[in-house]
Amino acid sequence: DIQMTQSPSSVSASVGDRVTITCRASQGISSWLAWYQQKPGKAPKLLIYYASSLQSGVPSRFSGSGSGTDFTLTISSLQPEDFATYYCQQANSFPPTFGGGTKVEIK
Amino acid sequence: QVQLQESGPGLVKPSETLSLTCTVSGGSISSYYWSWIRQPPGKGLEWIGYIYSNGNSNYNPALKSRVTISIDTSKNQFSLNLSSVTAADTAVYYCARRPSGGFFDIWGQGTMVTVSS
């Protein structure tokens, strides 16, 4: 299985901050990467797919980049509703696998 | 818009079979892959398996010997059976739609299943 490693595991930030989360794959996955946002007690929500494509309805302050093994999710200006846990997921190889998550907390 | 809703027992005894159903509303179950994903309390996400609307299925090798996913297109439902459960199978179970790209774009709200005697 492809291992997905996210860093940091948690980050403290303030409203208006720029936040960057990294996801590294144990082998190359081209651009077959998605990012999800999960709030407590809720299902994950798809934010980004194909590494950099914004899912319909997702605010433009979210962006994704990268290919191969290294990927980033950037929130350009953190809003109160963005405090959540973020997961990456690879869809290049079977079985699909997720990163361990990055919790974005209020500073 | 398409919505998914999981249903099934919230408590299952060890060694028994966990059975859940996902009902798809607001759209057809045809021409998509439908997945089950789980999340143990306080932990990350684990993909369990998927089924296509024609009945073709594929499972996570780590769970393959215990998993069966089936589909009933007449009812717009698909189901998960996980046999010989242990406490390690305690988790929130989600159903999700997987378009051809391999990502999961629509999720159910999730259902908590506890394995305990």
Percent of chain A predicted with pLDDT > 70: 100
pLDDT score of B15: 97
Per-residue pLDDT tens over the stretch A20-76: 999 999 999 999 999 999 999 999 999 999 999 999 999 999 999 999 999 999 999
For residue B99, whether the previous peptide bond is cis, meaning omega lies within 30 degrees of 0, is no
Query: CB of A87 within 8 A of CB of A101?
Result: yes
* Total residue length of chain A: 107
Closest among B57, B50, B54, B61 to B95, alpha carbons compared: B50
Distance from the B100 Cα atom to the nearest Cα atom in chain A, whole angstroms: 10
pLDDT score of A80: 94
User: Which residues of chain B, if any, have pLDDT below 50?
Assistant: none
- Locate the chain B residue with the closest alpha carbon to A92: B102
Q: Quick check: A106 pLDDT over 90?
A: no
Per-residue pLDDT tens over the stretch A80-98: 999 999 999 999 999 999 9
Within 8 A by CB and 6+ apart from A57, the residues are none
Q: Mutate which of A31, A32, A33, A46 to test chain B, going by most B C-beta atoms within 10 A?
A: A46
pLDDT score of A22: 98
Chain A contacts of B102, Cβ < 8 Å? 32, 91-92, 96
Within 8 A by CB and 6+ apart from B110, the residues are A42, A43, B6, B39, B92, B93, B94
pLDDT score of B87: 97
Q: Mutate which of B1, B50, B103 to test chain A, going by most A C-beta atoms within 10 A?
A: B103
pLDDT score of B101: 81
Cα–Cα distance between A104 and A61 in angstroms, integer? 15
Q: How many CB pairs under 8 A join A and B?
A: 49
